[in-house]
Chain A
Amino acid sequence: MRPLSEVFAPGAPTLPERLRTLVVSPERELEPGMTVRAAFTFRNQGGAPATGVRVRVNVPDGLIYLVGSGRLDGNDLDDELGISPLLSRPGAQIGDVAPGEERRIEVAYSVAGAIENGTTVELQAAVASFELAPVGSNIVRLVVRSRPQLRNALTRIAIEAPGDPLPGSEALVTIRLHNAGESSARDVVVVAPIPEHAAYIPGTARVNGREFERDLGTTFDRAYAPIVLRSLPASASATLSYRLRIDSPLRDGSQVVAGAEVASQETAAFALEVASLTVVAAPDFSDEHTTFVAEPAHEAHPGERVILTLTAYNSGTAVAARVTASIELDERLVPVRGASTIDGRTIRERRKEPLRFQLGPIAAGDRVTLGTHAIVASPLPDGTALGAIATLEWEPSRQSSARRLECSVVGRSEPAFPPRRNFIEARGGAVVRPGTIVEAAIVLANDGGAAAHDAVLHLRLDAAFEEIGVFENNARLNLDGASGSLHADTVELGTLEAHATRRLTIRARVASPCPDRSELCIGASLHTRELGETPLHDAIWRVDSHPAFSDETSRLEFADEPALRPNQLAIVDVVVTNTGSDVAHNVRLRLYVSPEARLESVEGATREKSSLSFGEIRPGAHGQARLGLRLLRSLAKEYPVTVDAVLTADAMLPVPLQRLTIATVAEPDFSIASFRSEPADAVDVGETVEWLLNVRNGGDGITHRAAIAIAIPDSLIYVPNSTTVNDVPVRDVGDAAPFAAPQGIVLNEVEPGVEAAIRWRTVVHNGLPAGTSVVQVAHVRYDGERDDEIVSNELKVRSGPVFATAIPGLPFGLDGVLGPALAGSQRALAEDRFIQLPPATPVGDGNGALAPAQLTAGVVEEAMVRARGAGTMAAFTPDRLNRTLRFLREARFDSLVTHLFALRAFLPDAIGDGYSSAIATLADLLHEELDRLFIKLRLPRYAIAPRDVETPSLRSTIEAVLHDAASAHGVPADSPTASIELRGSFDPSELQEFTERLGSAELAGALPWAALARLLPDSLPPYAQYRTGLIDALDDFVDSESSDFIEALQHRQDAALDAALDTMCASLHATA
């Protein structure tokens, strides 16, 4: 048996219905909220009291105990803790129930407000006692009658947008379903069509936040009347929501109306009150899609086309009507007419407001592209911002019905100096001459859009330019020089404005001289801060330059006396001046000297036969040479000598110079003479004084008559017949000396260079007081009017007191004074040798020397030496003499060369009274050289070469010998070993002249041999004859070319000379 507490437990079986005394009101159906009253009556049908009776009533679901409604036996039964004890698990303890006692309990319930329709409510009561098991009452089954109610105020539809309901924006439709009934609504159906002007956003349908569309199997907008809820309990709410996309575009104010119908199995369909959304729509050009850009976007150069593109994109939700675009351009942007397009199509050009464009309507989401072109104007400062403003206006007008857009590009400009318009060019001809002025024009045209600053013109000037000037509009510009540059070459030009042209002129003088065909160049370059170096190319000229000579600046002129004397050098200066402007190459002066004269020496130029070579002469330079012209003795007549000259040079026409006419003067001159005494300084009275008057025709002309007169002073007593002329005694005239005679000593036909030595002796007068000065004066009268006075040295007379005494050696006393013993000295000439000077015979070498062979050599030598100045001596032993003569016999080659061997054979061993080492060296050299020639000449048909005749070492040795001879005096001492001495005499001054000439004489010429010939012996007539002949033969070639001399050596035969040599050899042979 189950206790009472266990009955009515959930899930427990009901009690068997034993007592049918439970009465419930209402009996059959219940409705939510209805009060249900239950009364249970029971009776102790037994007999015994039922003790510990407990009563209990169940509380089924859906019924709610009404508090305080429990009653027992009509009496309220207090609730315990809010519930009646009748409903508690142990039940209400009602005590003992007597048998037969009836008891009654009552309890009231309330039907729950929400209980499903059809719900069965079962009520049952049970009673138990201690003695009795719980007895159940009848079970009262009540059916609940209830309905859902969807149509209520809470069931509604709403549409809302998160923001402004703009076209295109989303809107949320929310359908709230509320079951205001007592039971659940089953299969709730909602018909929610997608509102007009909106579109369902797929996947957004939600039921109570749960995705709903998946259950539909299709999209929500395609499912008509879908069951959104299988059950909607009473008082429950559910929400169906989905999102919409508002159509766009959409006219402003358009309504999006959302409506729905709801139905369920219990509820007929009903429509919800519609909800709507008023769309707010407007055109909009404010976003970034509306642009105004320029192409190029950043930088543009003057002249460059800038494409301005306005893209009007209606990002709004409504059509923009009457859209206009106005473009404002920077003043340096020049609009291009006819180049505007809208959406790529050209538009009609408007005369008025050409930059205002009607774009027409622009639907939302549409765009219109307006393109217009502009050109960047020039000039334009670099870096200028070129702005453009586009104003977009549209309707309908609201607060923001216009938009202003701006764009800009940076104007990039720079100066430009295109080569076509910036250059340097030569003006005038392309060929210039030195000294002329060249002119070059420089054009600087800034074709760029910006000014060029700090412009500096750099010039590259050839060194050949001078006096350089740069001019602009006849104003001279400052020309500065860079360090290290030859010329000032920089011109600061400052700023060169854009599109401005400046013209400069460069003038420069071509330096003179200047090489021919050289190119002169003026280069220029422009340096600006913006462009750096801009070359301007070059202006080039070609120089036409030539050397030039004229007979005015190139001439022949006398250096000293304008006259040419025989055997004297006339110095003629040659001056050639290059007055041209280029170097004269290979300048030569060909001389045409009249045959009376010979070009003797040349200084300052290279002589090539009759031409002078000056080599190169620079422009403006001079070539100078000094010519030595010698008038040939044999032609020493008073004929003028002419010298013509033709000047030639490379690349030049020959220039004949003005003829130089040289007057020849030939006149005798006896002004230079010596008149001295022996003793020279002092003399005792009574002593003999020897006087020597040397007169020489030092002129260059012959005198036909020269009278020498000397007056013997009273202090002197002439020694009769003591007068000699060139050692030839001359008779006195009466008791007077010949020179004291009225006509004096007359010399006839005195050739130039001929000397006359007049000697005489006098005795100093005994009566002269001491200190008396004795001076003699000689007069040489010639040429009629010349009278040269020659004063002797001053001779002082010594005198002292003497007393007559006995003189030793005399057998008697002599009242006199001892004097010089005149008779004690050996006289040079015997009285029988007195001869009269032949009046027409020139006084020359050998005059008066026709000494007979019987004269002793010593006497002759002394006389000759006195006459000529110095002596020579060749010493021979008999053996050497024999060998020499044999050698000479072998050396007969039938030509002039034979006599070179003779000269070698008779060359003296000593000259003068001194020692000359050169003569020995010369003998050795001649021995060597001529021996070789001797051997070579033995070869058949051997041709003599210049080196066979003379070598440089031989020349230098000959010069040394001649130098010694020129300074020699006296005679050589006798040889202690030689048995034969060949002596000669010579004039040292003559050899001095040879010595001077030898320096410029060419090798292998006749000059050295002619000089050496004068050293040969002449002590005997055969010697003198041969020497004279040899000298004459060699002198003929002294002024000839060496080739002529060699030709003569090889082929010329002089029979007289050969005979003279034979005579001399024969004489020597006899001596030997």
Chain B
Amino acid sequence: MFKAILARFAPQRVDVPLWTATAGEEFAHLCEAERCDLVFAYAALEDSQSLEMLERALDDPSEAVALAAARAVATRGRSAAVERYLELHPGERTRRIAAMLELLA
């Protein structure tokens, strides 16, 4: 299932985020929208590997992707992990993500 989901997002893109690169070279160049969809796909899973990927996606350079990841992690019951991440990464970006996360809760 995990690989199958990965396979849906195989087209090559630019801007290599680290968290997609760890999933494989073919996922290293996804665009932001595709990374969002990838996050949403992970969010539907319940295994630890997908959760790990979602937590890595918090570092995505795209704020929207990071927001999607934060929302997915929180939805999975790992709000503490999100809060810890936000505490470890203070800044305007983190503030906006936290604000949006509150609205979407």
Contact = CB atoms under 8 A, between A and B. Distances in A.
Contact of B64 (A883, A890, A938): A938
B60 to A, nearest CB: 12
11 contacts: A886-B103, A890-B100, A890-B103, A932-B40, A935-B36, A935-B67, A935-B68, A936-B36, A938-B64, A939-B32, A939-B62
Interface of B: 32-33, 36, 40, 62-64, 67-68, 71, 100, 102-104
B103 A935 contact: no
Q: Decide if the interface of chain A is mainly helix, strand, loop or mixed.
A: helix
A934 B64 CA distance: 9
Contacts of B100: 890, 935, 938
Given A938-B67, A939-B33, 20 more contacts: A883-B103, A886-B103, A890-B100, A890-B103, A931-B71, A931-B104, A932-B36, A932-B40, A932-B68, A934-B104, A935-B64, A935-B68, A935-B100, A935-B104, A938-B63, A938-B64, A939-B32, A939-B36, A939-B62, A939-B64
A950 to B, nearest CB: 15
A1032 B33 CA distance: 32
A932 B75 CA distance: 13
B103 A936 contact: no
Interface in A918-972: 931-932, 934-936, 938-939, 942
The size bracket of the interface on A is 10 to 19
A639 interface: no
B64 A936 contact: yes
Contact of B33 (A890, A934, A942): A942
A890 B40 CA distance: 21
A347 B36 CA distance: 118
A935 B103 CA distance: 11
Nearest to A883: B103
Contacts of B103: 883, 886-887, 890
A568 B97 CA distance: 50
A926 to B, nearest CB: 12
A960 B59 CA distance: 40
Contacts, number: 33
A883 B33 CA distance: 26
Nearest to A932: B40
Interface string A362-388: 000000000000000000000000000
Contacts of A887: 103-104
Contacts of A883: 102-103
A883 B67 CA distance: 18
A887 B104 CA distance: 8
A927 to B, nearest CB: 8
Contacts of A932: 36, 40, 68
A935 B71 contact: yes
A886 B101 CA distance: 12
Contacts of A936: 33, 36, 64
B93 to A, nearest CB: 12
Nearest to B105: A883
Contacts of B36: 932, 935-936, 939
Nearest to B31: A939
Contacts of A931: 71, 104
A936 B33 CA distance: 7
Contacts of A934: 104
Nearest to A930: B104
Contacts of B33: 936, 939, 942
Contacts of A942: 33
A931 B70 CA distance: 13
Nearest to A891: B103
B11 to A, nearest CB: 15
B99 to A, nearest CB: 8
Interface in A856-894: 883, 886-887, 890
Contacts of B40: 932
A887 B100 CA distance: 8
A339 B59 CA distance: 119
A886 B102 CA distance: 10
A421 to B, nearest CB: 72
A887 B64 CA distance: 16
A942 B104 CA distance: 19
Nearest to B70: A935
A934 B40 CA distance: 13
Nearest to A947: B37
A901 to B, nearest CB: 11
A684 B96 CA distance: 70
Interface in A194-223: none
A882 to B, nearest CB: 10
A51 to B, nearest CB: 181
Nearest to A928: B75
A1049 to B, nearest CB: 16
B43 to A, nearest CB: 9
Nearest to A884: B103
B48 to A, nearest CB: 22
Contacts of A938: 63-64, 67, 100
A363 B65 CA distance: 135
